[in-house]
Amino acid sequence: MDKQTKLELEKTALKARMGIIEGIHAAKAGHPGGSLSCVDILTYLYFKQMKVDPKNPKWEERDRFVLSKGHAAPALYAVLAQRGFFDEKELLSLRQIGSMLQGHPDLKKIPGVDMSTGSLGQGISAAVGMALSAKHFGNNFKVYAVLGDGEIEEGQVWEAAMFAGNHKLDNLVIFVDNNNLQIDGTVEEVNSPHPIDKKFEAFGFETVILADGNDFEQIEEALNKASGSKKPVAIIAKTVKGKGVSYMENAVNWHGAAPNDELYEQAMAELKDALAKMN
């Protein structure tokens, strides 16, 4: 990846991070930690990887994306806005009455959202269904999904993984956003899903460990490593929960809380400062 491309992606992700914070602050509710941990992956997918057309969000041959960890909706919305699916101003209506931006992704209401998600463990099955549909009906699109590391404690994830592996759905790429924190503590404290890569491998996936899932070069490298796989791909992305806002980083209390005005100003100042340094 050349320097300019990387810089542009980093700027886009910073703007998306601001969108996340602004939306959650305005809503006085939402999930900043897990949004900030996966927003770089989403940015890469929507700006470098996926075949999409913001002018034609229902284009039949588009690649599909399923945010299985639906509570990271602010990240998806902010990236979709950056990509031009809708106006950035919409982000301030997050979770408000009358807003299309529901607390969790809604395919009926939001341009660019391919699947309604929110109840954990269900999105991956839908992604598997989309990948199967493409194979069965002869479409060439690929399907990407992002799951949480806490989410994979759900049994349905493994039902879906078993099916995807058995059917060799090589048009499916899933990311596990391994920020290592869930509501009640670290994933190890709660009910450890580790070793994640070995589990997916056993279910018939090609697995890639992505050492820094908040680094664009490494995200690209992981996807390149997986391309050409004859199996479904699981990329285990080590990420930092709350990435980019100092007081939210690796802090479990920012899983599902909105910053007050003071902390909002601090977060925005940090992000603006980071963006200014890039310009």
Partner 1 sequence: MSEVKNVATRVGYGTALVELGKIRDDFVVMDADLAAATQTGMFKKAFPDRFYDCGIAEQNMMGIAAGIAATGKKVVVSSFAMFAAGRAFEQVRNSIGYPHLNVIIGATHAGISVGEDGATHQCCEDIALMRTIPGMTIINPADEVEARKAVYAAMELDGPVYMRFGRLAVPVVFGEDYKFEIGKGVELKEGSDVTIIATGLMVKEALEAYELLKSEGISARVINMATIKPIDKDIILKAAKETGAIVTAEEHSVIGGLGSAVGEVVGEEYPVPVVKLGVYDTFGHSGPAAKLLDEFGLRAVNIAEKAKKAISLKK
- As measured in angstroms, the least distance from the Cβ of 186 to partner 1 is 27
**Which residues 29-68 are close enough to bind partner 1 by CB under 8 A?**
60, 64, 66
Question: In whole angstroms, what is the distance from residue 70 CA to residue 35 CA?
Answer: 10
CB of 126 to partner 1, least distance (A): 4
The H-or-E segment that residue 178 falls in is strand 172-178
Cβ at position 81, least distance to partner 1 in Å: 21
Q: How many of the chain's residues bind partner 1 (CB under 8 A)?
A: 35
C-alpha distances in angstroms, 230 versus 133, 170, 176, 182, 225?
A: 17, 5, 20, 32, 12
Q: Which residue has the tokens 């940015």?
A: 43
Interface with partner 1 includes 115 (CB under 8 A)? yes
- Name the phi and psi angles at 84, rounded to 5: 95, 15
**Using CB under 8 A, which of the segments 31-39, 49-57, 106-114, 204-212 binds partner 1?**
106-114
Residues 127-156 that bind partner 1 (CB under 8 A): 127-134, 136-137, 139, 155-156
List 8, 159, 212, 249, residue binding partner 1 (CB under 8 A): 159
Cis peptide preceding 195, ω within 30 of 0: yes
Q: Which of 163, 203, 205, 216 binds partner 1 (CB under 8 A)?
A: 163
Helices (H) and strands (E) in the chain, counts: 9, 7
Which amino acid, residue 185? G
Minimum distance from CB of 124 to partner 1 (Å)? Answer: 7
Q: How far is the CB of 100 from partner 1 (least distance, A)?
A: 14
CB 113 within 8 A of CB 105: yes
- Interface pick for partner 1 out of 160, 181, 248, 267 (rule CB under 8 A): 160
The position carrying tokens 């995807």 is 164
| Interface with partner 1 (CB under 8 A), residue from 126, 176, 187, 208 | 126
Q: Under a CB-based contact definition with an 8 Å cutoff, are residues 115 and 68 in contact? A: no
- The contact set with partner 1 (CB under 8 A) reads 60, 64, 66, 106-108, 114-116, 118-119, 121-134, 136-137, 139, 155-156, 159-160, 162-163, 167
